[in-house]
Structure 1
Amino acid sequence: MRTRTLVRAVLAALTITAVTATAPAQADEGPVGPEPWLPYETTDFVAPAGRYCDFELSVTAVEDEEEYRVVSRYPDGAVRVYEYRGKLITRFTNVATGESVTRDLSGHAWTEMYPDGVTMRSFTGIGPFGFGFRETDPYPRGYYRLDGLHVITIDEDGTRSMPVAAGDAENVCTALD
């Protein structure tokens, strides 16, 4: 329990330091954050066979009490960093067999966006949370429930890497295979 609290404190400090250290001077910034928390609704999806799992994977929110806020913006007003928190219970289903598992993904996360304000550059999470990797990514293909401290970077070509992986990683594809 103390380890989890320490990891959370370290991550929060690193995130605040990174956002502050890389932010432009106040005179050059867009609107100053963080902005107020707003409700967030996770989008259910079905990933085709081969994207994350050998089978078609359905991902559905069972309980969703998340919220998000804008932490910082680029000078033109585009979002630079989002923060997410709240309860998220998700059902993962192998569409071919109907077998499913339910997982708690109620972590705390920050996403850094590229200057377009739309494309994700990095995802930093204190688990549990979910994230998918494809065959072309350097991390093994699968859709993972990650718990602990994880940082995922997304190159401009869409390649996803995980340079920081401190904690558990469960590939839900394996659980449903």
Structure 2
Amino acid sequence: MRRAVMASVVMVAALLAGAAPAQAAAPTGGHGGWVPAPSAAFEQPAGARCDFAIRSEPIRDEVRQLVLETNADGTPKRVVYAGDLIVKFTNLATGVSAEVDASGTALVDYHTDGSMTWYVVGPVIFGFRDDGSTLPRGMWLIDGVYTLAFSPTFHKTLTMVHGTTTNLCTLVD
């Protein structure tokens, strides 16, 4: 598994290095170039991810996506996401907030059964519910080199090659 993750990381780096000039190129072969992939602000009630209600909102969002491969029906099969993302994470009960850098790069494989696999380098924020993953409930900033596999029911399995995990709930508690 570790070799597969490292191979994916090398592939993402190579794709990003090779794909940069494609930003100015016209779409070809059914694939477009890099396009914005904005993150939406959201709120979660107390107990869903943290013991208190939270809000997550992008402060700077320059994330873009490049569809590398599509399914026969035209839906994305393999997509690269990259770009700056700074998120303000707020405890709605106290108003305490923290700005977090979530500017990781991810290669995401979307599977026809509804599952997906993320191959990530750098920091990305993921929410975890009770009994829904290999991490406890929370909003987690995962940074490093890792994969995150989502089952069709969105159970998440984190495989960390190297890195850290920080529960953002503790930053604003």
TM range (shorter): 0.7 to 0.9
Q: Any conservation in 1 of the 2:12–2:80 contact (CA below 8 Å)?
A: no
In the TM superposition, residue 49 of structure 1 has moved relative to its aligned partner by 1.5
Tell me if structure 2 keeps the 8 A contact 1:91–1:102: yes
Partner Cα separation in structure 2 for residue 92 and residue 54 of structure 1: 14
Q: % of aligned pairs identical?
A: 31
Range with greater deviation from structure 2 (89-98 or 152-161): 152-161
Provide the C-alpha distance between the structure 1 equivalents of 2:30 and 2:162, rounded to a whole number of angstroms.
29
- Report if the CA contact (8 A) 1:59-1:92 is conserved: yes
| 1:114 Cα deviation after fit | 2.4
1:142 aligns with 2:129: no
Q: 2:105 aligns with which of 104, 108, 116?
A: 108
Partner Cα distance (2:48, 2:30) in 1: 36
Q: CA deviation at 1:176?
A: 1.3
What secondary structure does 1:12 align onto? helix
Which residue in 2 is equivalent to 1:161?
157
Alignment deviations for residues 5-26 of structure 1 (CA, whole Å, 9 cap, x no partner): xxx975433669xxxxxxxxxx
Residues 61 and 48 of structure 1: is their aligned pair in 2 closer, same or farther, counting only changes over 3 Å?
same
Distance 1:157 1:174, change over 3 A: same
The CA RMSD measured in Å over matched residues stands at 2.4
Q: Distance in 1 between matches of 2:29 and 2:46?
A: 43
Residues of 1 paired with 2:160 and 2:58: CA distance?
A: 26
Distance 1:91 1:159, change over 3 A: same
Q: Which aligned pairs between 1:82-93 and structure 2 lie closer than 5 A?
A: 82-93=79-90
Count of residue pairs the alignment pairs up: 154
TM-score by length of 1: 0.77
What's 2:50 paired with? 53
Structure 2 gaps of 5+ residues are: 14-27
In structure 1, list runs of 5 or more residues that go unmatched. Answer: 1-7, 17-30
- 3-state DSSP class of the match of 1:173? helix
In the other structure, the counterpart of 1:125 is 120
Which amino acid letter does the alignment assign opposite residue 98 of structure 1?
A: G
Structure 1 counterpart of 2:19: none
In 1, distance between residues paired with 2:104 and 2:30? Answer: 21
State the distance in 2 between where 1:15 and 1:115 align: 22
Match of 1:62 in 2: 59
